[in-house]
Amino acid sequence: MVPTLVDRIFYFSIAGFVAGIFVRSFVFVGVGFSWFLMFISVVLLLFHLLSVSSFANESQTSVLIAVLLLAAGLGMWRYDVADTRALETGLNSSVNQTVALEGVIVDEPDVREGNTRLVLRVDTQDVQTNILLMASHEPQYAYGDRVQVEGMLERPKNFTDEKTLREVDSVSHLAKDGIYYEMFRPKITFVARGEGDPILERLFLFKNAFIKNINALIPQPHASLLGGLVVGAKQSLGKELLHDFRLVGVIHIVVLSGYNLTIIAVFIEWLLSGLRKNLRLTLAATAMILFALMVGASATVIRATVMALLALLARGSARMYQVTRALLVAGVIMLLHNPKILVFDVSFQLSFLATLGLIYVSPFIEPRVKWVTERWKIREIVVATIATQLFVLPFLLYKTGIFSVVSLPVNLLVLVAVPFTMLFGFLAGMIGFVSTIFALPFAWTAYALLSYELGIVEWFARLPFAAMNLPIFPLSFVIFWYGTYATLYILWYKKQSTGAPQRNLLS
């Protein structure tokens, strides 16, 4: 299909907006520069309208350049608006001093191996500010609790990962969530409960009760892994085990991700296989949205849900063109909400790339795995796993520097069991509300599957050749790698368009 002017304007708008945010993420150019770009774009558009009477092909260049500049200026301006929070907090003068503050816990407690992380929102000079608290495991606090804290207020600092020896940009990672300060082991005094969003409070209460059921039925670390798989529970698996998951390339299953949510949709589709296709997809999408609400609807869960919905659309539609548009629009909407996730949110980046992989790489993989059985959706899992692994690999190498030699076989071995683990784990947790005894058979089954998954991870992680550390993997390599993917796809697309025999270019 030859793109029309409207198509080109659509893609140039998105490219400009994303480019503006990307550049502004690294370079502070001032608000005036974004307004200057938008002014230039308006001048170009006016010049075009006054000089030509129609949008002929030969006169489209100035329009597209104007659109690109306008979108880039808007992207920079949106980032500047988001960045003003760091400058208007009212606490800058108190950094490295002992302060006493009162606020509300605005996120789920994040239980780590050595501490529990709490996000406290305080009001200073009519501006809301988020502070990360590294607190003791006891006493426990919950979302919506109002507390008083006293301790040393500090700015977050970057640190070097002891395993990969790479610097972790903790400052930018926290800033994307509006966190510009932290306190280590402050004195915390409980004041009141129930000051968060009432709907989220009830959802988190249900989620915590579900996790309590799981912990009563299944020992650690299996229960923590199951909690992460099913409801995105923030419970630590321990540094060593988390390192093993990273080493073998399956860290994505530890937390609720787009993949996990897609599994839920696929399972519901299977249950409703007797219904019409459109009705199945609609019910599966509705179930995913309800599930996201049930597990707390945090920003990470919402992003994973959006990507999973698009993956579902990709599975249900052969129209890559439309699915790609939907993916781009969804990405722009998320960037409008929080532009900092483009560069500083790895989960957003991986979800976006994985979804692209499902859309564009899966058609190349599927003809090569016809020998894999379709029973229990195993072939679908194999195709999705290979496609996403191939597509996110360059980015993972750039971000982590860990090249997992065993990533593909481990993903194939583990992900086949994940849907059943989630199913039996979910049933165990839900039936646990009624009877622990009735829930035991489902818990035992889930425990066996979890033991298998943990065993695979630990066994492969102990292999001397399991992974290699790459101290340097330049961004230019990543661009070249994805450029190669794009070239292969364009050649394949042209062959299809000209009626040439279809051939898998990845072979």
Handedness of CA 289, 295, 298, 301 (dihedral sign): negative
Amino acid at 129: T
Is 490 within the bounds of a domain? no
Domain holding 24, by residue range, is 5-82
Q: Is residue 122 part of a domain?
A: yes
Residues 188 and 225 in one domain: no
Beta-carbon contacts of 4 under 8 Å, excluding residues fewer than 6 positions away, are none
Provide the token pair at 152.
């040393």
Q: Does the residue 497 lie in any domain?
A: no
Examine the domain organization and report whether 238 and 337 are in the same domain.
yes
Task: Check whether residue 448 and residue 323 sit in a common domain.
Answer: yes
Of 163, 196, 229, the residue at which a domain comes to its end is 196
Q: Same structural domain for residues 20 and 62? A: yes
Tokens for 220? Answer: 């650690």
3-state secondary structure 294-338: HCCCCHHHHHHHHHHHHHHHHHHCCCHHHHHHHHHHHHHHHHHHC
Same domain (yes/no): 41, 188: no
Residue 190 inside a domain? The answer is yes
Same domain for 97 and 146?
yes
Sign of CA dihedral 432, 433, 434, 436: positive
- Which among 196, 227, 255 is the end of a domain? 196
Residue ending a domain, among 82, 100, 122, is 82
Which CATH number is 163's domain given? Answer: 2.40.50.140
Q: Give, in order, the Cα–Cα distances in Å from 263 to each of 351, 388, 394, 418.
A: 14, 15, 25, 9
Q: What is the pLDDT along the chain (507 residues), one digit of tens a residue?
A: 556 778 888 889 999 999 999 999 888 887 888 888 888 888 888 877 776 554 455 567 778 888 999 999 999 999 988 887 666 667 877 888 999 999 999 888 888 878 899 999 988 766 778 899 999 988 889 889 999 999 999 998 888 776 666 777 788 888 888 888 999 999 999 999 888 888 888 888 888 899 999 999 999 889 988 888 887 776 667 778 888 888 888 877 776 666 566 666 666 666 676 777 778 778 777 877 777 776 666 666 776 777 777 767 666 655 555 777 877 888 888 899 889 888 888 878 887 888 888 788 888 888 888 887 777 667 777 887 788 888 888 888 888 888 888 888 888 888 888 878 888 998 999 999 999 999 999 999 999 999 999 999 999 999 988 888 887 888 889 999 999 988 988 887 777 666 544 444 333
Number of domains the chain is built from: 3
In a domain, 488, yes or no: no
Task: Tell me the CA distances in angstroms from 472 to 165, 186, 402, 469, 476, one per residue in order.
Answer: 11, 38, 10, 9, 11
Rounded CA gap, 481 and 467, in Å?
Answer: 20
Cα 375 to chain centroid distance, Å, stands at 29
Tokens of 436: 């622990």
Q: Are residues 100 and 77 in the same domain?
A: no
Nearest to 404 by CA among 357, 461, 449: 461
355, part of any domain: yes
pTM above 0.85, yes or no: no
3 state SS of 119 = strand
C-alpha distances in Å from residue 191, one per residue of 135, 144, 194, 438? 16, 11, 11, 39
DSSP 368: G
Q: Is 180 found in the same domain as 142? A: yes
Closest CA to 299 of 475, 436, 150, 176: 176
